[in-house]
Amino acid sequence: MNPLIIAIWLMLPAYLPNNFAVFFGGGKPLDFGRNFLDGRRILGDGKTFRGTIIGTLGGVGIGLVLDFVASSRPDLGLPDFGSGYELIPVLLGLSLGAMAGDVVASFFKRRMRMKRGESLFLVDQLDFVIGSWALTLLLAPRWFSENFTSEIILIVLIVTPALHRATNIIGYKIKAKKEPW
Ligand code: CTP
Ligand code: MG
């Protein structure tokens, strides 16, 4: 199978949580509306409980479907998301890690006095990638190193900013998102 397809396939459980969060987010913010020591919001109203939970479950759900496809059609040559119990740490790593990376980035954006929704080039595009890799490496190191070869990692770093930009423009056009980034 083409390595570009494999790279996107492996990252779908990390890509989709943020899109789910955009659609289903809202309600109580993760920081409960509280400020940090600098008098600014800890995370801001853009990081909510509902968005984070539904985003994570959405990513795990997609991952289960993809894993089922990969396992039942080995002829396609698409990687699975771990055998047996490994499936759960892998999918949680990818999808919860993506949400966590985005939350950590918002923390730093607020410290940089950036308002909710203000764009920070490359951080907005790659925060969730770094978060998903970090947590997956921690929870399922063997699966991670077997699947994320240096070639796949390089492809992900190159195509993700473009994919992210494209989906956010679509999200903006269909009015699911306030800004086109
Ligand atoms: N969202 C959410 N919970 C999350 C992440 C996102 O509810 N953990 C929802 C929010 O409605 C948010 C939207 O998805 O406004 C877009 O997400 P994102 O671009 O990550 O947030 P921003 O609003 O741009 O805020 P920030 O400046 O902190 O990135
Ligand atoms: Mg944003």
User: Does 181 map to a domain?
Assistant: no
Residue 88, domain extent: 3-173
Q: What is the pLDDT of residue 179?
A: 87
- CB of 26 closer than 6 angstroms to any ligand 1 atom: yes
User: Does 179 map to a domain?
Assistant: no
- Statement: residue 178 has pLDDT above 90: no
Secondary structure letter of residue 115 according to DSSP: P
pLDDT band for position 89 (50/70/90)? Answer: very high
User: Does 81 map to a domain?
Assistant: yes
Q: How many domains is the chain built from?
A: 1
Measured CA to CA, the distance from residue 169 to residue 116 in angstroms comes to 18
Q: State CA 43 to chain mean position distance.
A: 17
Q: How far is the CA of 47 from the centre of ligand 1 (A)?
A: 5
User: Does 40 map to a domain?
Assistant: yes
pTM of the model: 0.95
The residue whose C-alpha atom lies closest to atom 15 belonging to ligand 1 is: 46
User: Does 180 map to a domain?
Assistant: no
Q: How far is the CA of 63 from the centre of ligand 2 (A)?
A: 24
pLDDT band for position 160 (50/70/90)? Answer: very high
